[in-house]
Amino acid sequence: MKYTALVPVKSLEAAKSRLASHLTAEQRASLMLDMLHHVLQTLQVSQVFEHVSVVSADTRVLQQAQHWGAQALVETQAGHNPALTAAATHELLQGADALLTISADLPLLQVADIGQLVEESRCHDVVIATSQDGTGTNALLTHPPLILPYKFGVNSRYHHQNEAQKRHLSYTVHHSLGLSLDIDTIEDISALERYDMTTFASCGRLVL
């Protein structure tokens, strides 16, 4: 089975808006790029994926992504779900059998998390990796790609579950630290202090 990974990244000036009262625009951009780098490296080191793609409307993001060995896909449809759908269609046409869509803001992501998702996908059409509170989706692995529509946004975990149920697809819900701790708020950055900061030093620099 040919696995491909797809990482959506918002334009840097709009990214991490919930941190705007704590970090400058350049700090938010650096944080976003550092986290993207970590996620791309983890995906690459896992040696699961034929290639890793980044979809974004931001030239700086796409240039960095290419520099870090990912394929750069220009966002042809604006917004999280439309951008992913267009990029996933591209991946399907390139021959992907299975597609992992994963957030760029997962500083504690580890190779073992990716391995677990892939193992779970061997027995299920759809694997949904939830955010810390269980309501969001930080990663979605399906085979084939686009077997269900992207429903990222509020309560997306339940929307993805419902879409799978409607289509009588077999699905499982995954929860692990590395896939659940996404960095949206200042509390999320503080939460990182409870874990091994050497895993992701740049967040530490921001809170120190």
Ligand X SMILES: Nc1nc2c(ncn2[C@@H]2O[C@H](COP(=O)(O)OP(=O)(O)OP(=O)(O)O)[C@@H](O)[C@H]2O)c(=O)[nH]1
Ligand Y SMILES: C=C(OP(=O)(O)O)C(=O)O
Could you list the residues that contact ligand Y (CB under 6 A)?
Answer: 80, 131, 136-137, 152-153, 156
DSSP annotation of 24: -
- Note whether 89 and 108 are within 8 A (CB): no
* Beta pairing, strands 3-9 & 126-130: unpaired
Could you please report the per-residue DSSP string of 61-80?
A: HHHHHHHTTPEEEE--S-SH
Q: Which does 153 bind (CB under 5 to 8 A by kind): ligand X, ligand Y, none?
A: ligand Y
Contact window for ligand X (CB under 6 A) among 75-83, 88-96, 110-118, 189-197 = 75-83
- The Cα–Cα gap between 123 and 172 comes to 9
75 binds ligand X (CB under 6 A): yes
Applying CB under 6 A, among 4, 10, 70, 114 the residue interacting with ligand X is 10
Distance in Å, CB of 24 to ligand Y, minimum: 22
Would you say 8 or 127 has its CB closer to ligand X? 8
Residue 205: helix, strand or coil by DSSP? Answer: helix
- The Cα–Cα gap between 70 and 191 comes to 29
Two tokens, residue 82: 């439309």
Applying CB under 6 A, among 6, 42, 46, 80 the residue interacting with ligand X is 80
Distance in Å, CB of 183 to ligand Y, minimum: 11
Which residue's entry shows tokens 């808006």? Answer: 17
Q: Which does 75 bind (CB under 5 to 8 A by kind): ligand Y, ligand X, none?
A: ligand X
Residues at the interface with ligand X (CB under 6 A): 8-10, 15-18, 55-56, 75, 79-80, 83, 103-105, 184
